[in-house]
Chain A
Amino acid sequence: MSVDAFNEIFEISSDNDLSEVGGGHGQKGIEFQKYWAIISMIDLYAEGEDFLILFETLQDIAILNSSDAPTEVCVYQVKKKDRGEWTWNRLTSLTEPEDVTKSAKKQKDDSKKVPKPPKSVFEIKNSPIGKLYATICAIKSLKRSGKFISNAGVGLSLADGSEAATFTSCQLSDLESKYLDLLNKGLQQFHPSDETPNLSDITIEKVSIPVDDPQTYTLGKITKYLINQSPRHASQAQSFLSALLTTISPLGAKTDKCISFDELRKQRGYNKLQFASALSNLEALPDFLDVLKIWRDKLGSEGMDYMALTNITIEATKFYTHQLTGNFGSAEADIINQCEDFLKVTPPPSGSLMPFFENAYINLSTKFPKISKGKLQAIFALKAIEHAASRI
Chain B
Amino acid sequence: MRNFLFENLCLISQRDKKARMITFHPKKNLIVGRNHTGKSSIIKTIFLTLGANPKGKLEKWDQTTVTYLTISVDKTTYKVLYKDGLRALFDSSDKLIMASSTRTEWVAAINNVLGFNLILTDKNSEPLHADTRAFFLPFYINQDGSWQSSWDTFTSLLQYNSPVQSILDYFSGIKPPQYYFLNSQRQIEQKKLSDLNKEFSFLNKAKERFSRSVSLNEVKITALNFTEEIQQLSEEVAELNAKQEHLREKFVRENEIIENIELQINLAKDALKSYEKDIAYLENNTSSDLVCPVCNTVHQDNFLPTLTYAEDARVLQQLIIQLSEDRIKVKGSHGDTERELNSLRSNYSRVSEILQARRDGVRFEDVVKSLGAETAFEAFISEEKVLGDEIRMLEQSVTELEERLKKLTDKKISSEVLKTYRTAYAVALNKLDLPAIKTSTLKLGSRPALSGSGGPRSILAYYSALWSVCFGKYGSFKIPIVIDSPNQQGQDHINLPKVLSYVANDLPDTQIILSSEVDIAEKFDKEIRLSEQYSVLQEGPFELLNVIVEPLLKEMYKELDTKATEAS
Contacts and interface: CB of A to CB of B under 8 A. Distances in A.
Interface of A: 236, 238-240, 242-243, 245-247, 249-250, 253-254, 266, 274, 277-278, 281-282, 285, 288-289, 306-307, 310-311, 313-314, 316-318, 320-321, 323-326
B48 interface: no
B264 interface: yes
Interface of B: 253-254, 257, 260-261, 264-265, 267-268, 271-272, 274-275, 279, 282-286, 288, 294-295, 302-304, 306-316, 318-320, 322-323, 326, 329-330, 333
A253 B308 CA distance: 24
Contacts of A314: 257, 260-261, 264, 323
A247 B306 CA distance: 8
Contacts of A277: 303
Contacts of B274: 324-325
21 contacts: A239-B307, A243-B307, A243-B309, A246-B279, A246-B282, A246-B302, A246-B306, A250-B284, A250-B286, A277-B303, A281-B307, A307-B257, A307-B330, A310-B323, A310-B329, A313-B326, A317-B316, A320-B316, A321-B264, A324-B272, A326-B295
Nearest to B266: A321
A320 B279 CA distance: 16
A245 B261 CA distance: 32
Given A313-B323, A320-B271, 13 more contacts: A239-B314, A242-B314, A247-B303, A249-B282, A254-B286, A274-B303, A307-B330, A313-B319, A316-B315, A317-B264, A318-B264, A320-B316, A324-B272
A310 B319 contact: no
B268 A253 contact: no
**Which of A321, A323, A325 counts the most B-chain CB atoms under 10 A from its CB?**
A321
Contacts of B319: 289, 313, 316-317, 320
A285 B295 contact: no
Contacts of A316: 315, 319
B257 A288 contact: no
B313 A246 contact: no
A247 B309 CA distance: 13
Contact of B330 (A242, A281, A310): A310
Contacts of B316: 317, 320-321, 323-324
Interface pairs A-B: 9 shortest CB-CB: A249-B283, A242-B310, A243-B307, A239-B311, A239-B310, A324-B271, A320-B316, A243-B306, A317-B319
Main SS at interface, chain B: helix
Contacts of B320: 317
Contacts of A321: 264, 267-268, 271, 316
Contacts of A325: 271, 274, 294
A316 B317 CA distance: 12
B268 A238 contact: no
B323 A253 contact: no
Given A307-B254, A325-B294, A247 B264 contact: no
Nearest to B295: A326
A311 to B, nearest CB: 7
B314 A326 contact: no
B296 to A, nearest CB: 10
A59 B130 CA distance: 140
Contacts of A289: 315, 318-319
A2 to B, nearest CB: 24
A243 B305 CA distance: 9
A337 B333 CA distance: 35
A246 B292 CA distance: 13
B404 to A, nearest CB: 72
B116 to A, nearest CB: 76
Contact of A282 (B253, B307, B329, B330): B307
Nearest to B329: A306
Nearest to A310: B326
Contact of B268 (A240, A254, A320): A320
B361 to A, nearest CB: 51
B307 A324 contact: no
Contacts of A306: 326, 329-330, 333
A278 B310 CA distance: 13
B320 to A, nearest CB: 7
A320 B312 contact: yes
Contacts of B268: 317, 320-321
Contacts of A238: 310, 314
A284 B304 CA distance: 10
A253 B267 contact: no
A274 B306 CA distance: 14
B284 A324 contact: no
Contact of B286 (A236, A239, A253, A281): A253
Contacts of B308: 285
Contacts of A249: 282-284
Nearest to A316: B319
A236 B254 contact: no
A246 B314 CA distance: 15
A239 B309 CA distance: 8
Given A307-B257, A324-B274, A325-B274, A281 B303 contact: yes
B250 to A, nearest CB: 9
Contact of A243 (B260, B310, B329): B310
Nearest to A323: B312
Contact of B322 (A246, A253, A313): A313
Contact of B283 (A245, A282, A317, A318): A245
A327 to B, nearest CB: 9
B547 to A, nearest CB: 80
A209 B434 CA distance: 162
Contacts of A246: 279, 282-283, 302, 306, 310
B310 A311 contact: no
Contact of A266 (B288, B304, B312): B288
Contacts of B261: 310, 314
B326 A236 contact: no
Given A249-B284, A250-B285, A278 B323 contact: no
Nearest to A275: B303
Nearest to B302: A247
Contacts of B279: 242, 246
Contacts of A320: 268, 271, 312, 315-316, 319
